[in-house]
Amino acid sequence: MKNLQDATEMICDLKGSMLAMDALVSALVYTLPLEARTELRKRLDAYAEVARTVLLQSEISEHTLTAFERDVTRAEKLVGASVRSALNPI
């Protein structure tokens, strides 16, 4: 039972770290100038495709692939929304 408790605590710790990184990245994206956001969007697409290729050639869990695709899609939406907000300020 101790191993299960340790694993649960480690998963919770990782979740908290990921949420903190997500908040940081989200804030950073919105502080970038428009030109940098546009470049980020292009590079994200390119880097995600490279990572996707590596993941598909690796022996990894389907859960990992699903999480990767979900989070890349979310990041693409975040960067896209930040570009749109810079182009159409309220």
Enumerate residues 6+ apart whose C-beta is below 8 A from 69. 52
- The domains of the chain are located at 2-87
Enumerate residues 6+ apart whose C-beta is below 8 A from 86. 34, 37
Tens-digit pLDDT profile for residues 16-74: 999 999 999 999 999 999 999 999 999 999 999 999 999 999 999 999 999 999 999 99
Per DSSP, 89 falls in state -
Q: What is the DSSP string of 58-81?
A: S---HHHHHHHHHHHHHHHHHHHH
> pTM of this prediction?
0.83
- Tokens 């907000």, located at residue: 85
